[in-house]
Copies of this chain bind each other. A is one copy, B any other.
Amino acid sequence: MGYKGLLERIGQVNDLLCSKSLLSWDARTMMPPGGATTRAKQLATLQLFARDHLVSNETRRLLDMAEGEIAHLPEDSVERTMCAQVREAIDYHLKIPAELVERRAEMGSKGQHVWAKARADNDYAAFAPVLEETFELNRKMADCIGYEDHPYDALMYRFEPGETIASLQPLFASLRQGLIPLLKDIGEKESPRVDFLQRPFPVDKQLGFALKMARKLGYDTDRGRLDLTVHPFEISFTRNDVRITTRVNDEWMPKSLFGTLHETGHGMYEQYCDPDYTRTPFATDLIGLYAVGGVSFGAHESQSRLFENHVGRSREFWELNYGELHDTFPEQLAGIDVETFWRAINRVEPGFIRVESDELTYDFHIMLRVDLEAALIDGSLSVAELPDAWNAKVKEYLGLDVPNNQLGVLQDVHWSSGQVGTFCNYTIGNVMAGQLFHEAKKEGPVGEGLATANYAPLREWMTEHVHRHGRRYTREQLLENATGQGLEPSFYIEHLTSKYSEIYGLAS
């Protein structure tokens, strides 16, 4: 009775969070401009009700009962794992005082206006007070949540449970060691031509082709749809309705295509979660209060980066699919062969803006942010010192001189909405993607499929080893089960080294 009742309560929490996600999707795709103010209130209410329902006396009473009922089952049984996750989430929320939750929510709307204006005006001083408040608030959050070594660990817990500054440092060191020389070598070579990607490509044809590729990779449009937004994203309201968006620049074609393939990877993680987990803790982030089946933000990013980069930017993929692209855009791609196209979509060019960076330089944007966030949280860096520290890191990692704060420390929205601790996921996703793709290709049908434009075996391998488990295992358990080891960057570094050596004619 207790266990069954508990699952129904969590099902309702999931219903509220799915509703909230739908309201967010609508706000970014369909809502007329006038709807913004009351929509914000509706979102806040759904969030509050989900949180309150989760930590309510009745849910806790049912959890106590459930734990008694299932105590005889193995510790790693579905039932005990679900109960342990609910217990962990309730404890987490009860540690954070309502006052802090409210202040964070307020910052979410207030800070973004200040940031948007400060960025437009290139006025760091105007944004500095928001940053002060964001980091002070997050220090308080970290103290409430608790940590062993570093307060930043407590903040990453919500996005990448188990990750710590101590575990990230050797990972980042390996990446720097492997990638900085590669980047330097590339810088000495001639850049591939990309001019033909800047020709006008009709928007509807771009979307049509992108969706065709998404379906070819396994995205199920009976349980999904593709729309246009300013920033691409994936969002789901149970596995039965998983939507993706992309943006279109009619003079930079890769944007919509690779945006779609990226979100396709995210989308399939949700679509192929075990249906038995629908509305359960294994398909609900009860810590972050978000209806999601992926086990961590990094694990989620592994799927998007795998389908975007390891599949979608590979020579093999375009050898099989370029014909169709060429048929779709015969004028724009006139005289361009597959080799030229493939080299163009893999051009490396260090730049100032994270969201516009290429596959190789992306991680440097991440590492510098993680380093700076951690230093701001532990007090070893002040908000006043931040721009100089930022610019020094960009120089160190990318060899660039940041000309102004607009192109530097003011570029990201995250801090203005009170979020600290999310950036590491991108790099963890890249590293995991390298491991998982390496492992998957060992299986005959996966490799054969990639060589014949049949992507079902790859998708099925990912479903078997990643998607279907939802949040049942931790990220590290999932990786161990799938690849025999925890997070290990060598496969990712090897992937980048090998691809770029080929493109840029480097000695390997």
Minimal beta-carbon separation of A238 from chain B (angstroms): 4
A39 within 8 A of B: yes
Residue among A33, A38, A224 with max Cβ neighbours from chain B (10 Å): A38
**Complex CA–CA separation, A238 to B37 (angstroms):** 10
Write the A360-378 contact mask toward B (1 if CB under 8 angstroms, else 0). Answer: 0000000000000000000
A225 within 8 A of B: yes
A352 within 8 A of B: no
Contact of A222 among B33, B44, B241, B279 (CB under 8 A): B33
- B26 and A38 contact, CB distance less than 8 A: no
A15 touching B32 in the complex, CB below 8 Å, given contacts A22-B26, A26-B26: no
Residue among A37, A38, A42, A220 with max Cβ neighbours from chain B (10 Å): A42
Contact of A32 among B22, B46, B222 (CB under 8 A): B222
Residues of B contacting A279 with CB < 8 Å?
38, 41
- B34 and A222 contact, CB distance less than 8 A: yes
Write the A232-247 contact mask toward B (1 if CB under 8 angstroms, else 0). Answer: 0000011011010000
CB within 8 Å of B: which of A262-305? Answer: 278-279
A12 within 8 A of B: yes
Interface residue SS majority, chain A = helix
**Complex CA–CA separation, A224 to B31 (angstroms):** 8
Residues of B contacting A22 with CB < 8 Å?
22-23, 26, 42
State the copy count for this chain.
2
Contact of A241 among B15, B20, B31, B223 (CB under 8 A): B31
A126 within 8 A of B: no
A97 within 8 A of B: no
CB within 8 Å of B: which of A215-229? Answer: 220-225
A16 within 8 A of B: yes
* A interface residues (Cβ-Cβ under 8 A, vs B): 11-12, 15-16, 18-20, 22-23, 26, 30-39, 41-42, 44-46, 48-49, 220-225, 237-238, 240-241, 243, 278-279
**Complex CA–CA separation, A221 to B22 (angstroms):** 21
- A42 and B30 contact, CB distance less than 8 A: no
Contact of A240 among B26, B34, B46, B237 (CB under 8 A): B34
Minimal beta-carbon separation of A42 from chain B (angstroms): 4
**Complex CA–CA separation, A232 to B220 (angstroms):** 28
- B46 and A19 contact, CB distance less than 8 A: yes
- A49 and B241 contact, CB distance less than 8 A: no
Which residue of B has the minimal Cβ distance to A220? B34
- B30 and A19 contact, CB distance less than 8 A: no
- A237 and B15 contact, CB distance less than 8 A: no
Which residue of B has the minimal Cβ distance to A11? B41
**Complex CA–CA separation, A34 to B243 (angstroms):** 12
19 more CB-based (< 8 A) A-B contacts, given A32-B222, A32-B223: A12-B48, A15-B41, A15-B42, A16-B49, A18-B42, A19-B20, A19-B23, A19-B42, A22-B22, A30-B30, A32-B241, A34-B222, A34-B241, A35-B240, A36-B240, A37-B240, A39-B241, A41-B279, A49-B49
